[in-house]
Amino acid sequence: MAIHAERNLYPGVNAHLNSFLQQDDGGWESFHAMHINDIRGSLDVVLPENYYAVSEKSLQVSEVRLEAVITQRPCPDVTVVQTHPSSASRAASAAIPTAVLPLSDTLPDDDDYFTSVVIYEVEAGRLPGKPVTRIELLSPGNKSGGRYYHQYVARRRQTLKSGLSLVEIDYLHQSPPILPALASYIAGEPDFYPYMILVSDPHPVPAKGHVSFYGVQVVAALPLVSIPLADIEQVTLDLQAVYNQTMENARVFRLVVDYEQDPLDIDRYTGDDRKQIRALLAGIRQAPTSAE
């Protein structure tokens, strides 16, 4: 019998959901859009009064594979998916559109990107103010070996040279890290971590800046991350709380997680991590939260 739960039963990143999302057509783009929005909302609660966070075009390029042909598409704000045919229509009488435009007139010509979070400092009460920090949730196509890796790295370098701090969140244990200097989990190198967060602070100048590295084990909670702002100001982001919010507020993510089964592609975790995952699952299966 399947075991589903209304909350994340892992202390950190949910290995079931994370493995599912890294499949072809696993829904990474939907998770990305929701998680970025939750990060933005969480930051707005804790930022000092002279800062605000907005979602903007990411440094990363989005892609989707259709019948072995790679095309680019925008990340949707909301997608409604039919799980089974409806027995009857529930639509009320709709209003008459103000205008009807050709679809071709509404399609953008430029590249499509994921979204990211950018923190702004308000200057003398004027908007938009000065951007100080960019937050990226890394995606498969933009990591080492991905189709858009070199494109992303060039934009990453440009961002840091411009003086913006950069926070990169990496849940993707099935691909190498964004920086060659970091140990690769998938390659089994010493001192590796399946999940990581990089906080690059280019101040006072990029040549004298530093990178804070947060390594996260497979059954450990995500950290409280210090997000640099202007000058020496910082704000703390509870990344685990945000991750749980994203997972628990979307029914689709709860439905694809069945604790009765091992995660998909569990062999892509190390032997020690497989043991830890299975030990956690054994406890869940003895006292399931909910089943259907």
Beta bridge partners of residue 55, listed in sequence order? 117
User: Average pLDDT for residues 35-40, to the nearest whole number?
Assistant: 94
pLDDT of 188 strictly over 60: yes
Please indicate whether residue 122 or residue 111 has the higher confidence score (pLDDT): 122
pLDDT above 70 (res 1): yes
Give residue limits of the domains in the chain. Answer: 23-67+110-249
What is the rounded CA–CA span in Å between residue 125 and residue 123? 5
Average pLDDT over residues 191-216: 89
| Average pLDDT of the residues in 134-159 | 88
Q: What is the pLDDT of residue 8?
A: 95
Helical packing angle, 28-46 and 239-248, nearest 10°:
130
Scan for tokens 């930051």, then name that residue: 43
CB atoms within 10 A of CB 88: 4
Q: Quick one: what percent of the chain has pLDDT higher than 70?
A: 79
The verdict on pTM exceeding 0.85 is no
| Residue 140 pLDDT | 87
Return the exposure string of 236-273: e unless at least 16 CB atoms fall within 10 Å of the residue's CB, then b.
ebbbbebbbbbbeebeebbebbbbeebbbeeebbbeeb
Q: How confident is the model at residue 287 (pLDDT cuts 50, 70, 90)?
A: confident
Residue-by-residue DSSP string for 57-125? EEEEEP-EEETTEEE--PPPS-----SS--SS--PPPPPPPS----GGGGS--S--EEEEEEEEEEETT
More confident residue, 194 or 76: 194
Q: Are 22 and 140 in contact (CB under 8 A)?
A: yes
What's the pLDDT band for 208 if we cut at 50, 70, 90?
Answer: confident
Alpha-carbon distance of 144 to 211, in angstroms, equals 18
CB 181 within 8 A of CB 196: no
Cα(154)–Cα(136) distance, rounded to whole angstroms? 14
* Among 80-89, 126-135, 218-227, the range of highest mean pLDDT: 218-227
> What percent of the chain is modeled with pLDDT above 90?
47
Q: Which of 55, 56, 73 lies closest to 64, judged by CA?
A: 73
Mean pLDDT on 191-213: 89
Candidate from 89-93, 192-196, 286-290 with smallest mean pLDDT:
89-93
User: pLDDT band at 80, cuts 50/70/90?
Assistant: very low
- Asked whether 56 and 118 are in contact (CB, 8 A), the reply is yes
The rounded mean pLDDT for the chain is: 82
**Band of the pLDDT at 64, cuts 50, 70, 90?**
very low
Digit-coded pLDDT (tens) for 249-282: 999 998 999 999 999 999 999 999 999 999 999 9
pLDDT band at residue 70, thresholds of 50, 70 and 90? Answer: very low
In this prediction, residue 103 has a pLDDT band, given cuts at 50, 70 and 90, of low
Residue 248 is predicted with a pLDDT of: 93
Pick from 6, 12, 3: which is nearest to 242 by CA? 12
